[in-house]
Amino acid sequence: MSRWERQVRVPGDFWLRWLAVVLAVPVELLADAATRARRLAPSATGPSGAGRWNGSRR
């Protein structure tokens, strides 16, 4: 969950359904928000083609 809070990852369909139940909101609302977040997120790879993951954990 902390990765979601830090905007490192966006929850997938499985977790969106559970979050909708827990938060008592329509799953469509969360799915639309997740779609927008994915569109706005920077690319996972930079100009060098290296991924975001650098092997260190915080």
What is the structure's pLDDT at 57? Answer: 53
What is the structure's pLDDT at 49? Answer: 46
* pLDDT digits 0-9 by tens, 1-55: 777 767 688 888 999 999 999 999 999 999 999 999 888 877 655 454 445 555 5
Nearest to 34 by CA among 18, 16, 58, 22: 16
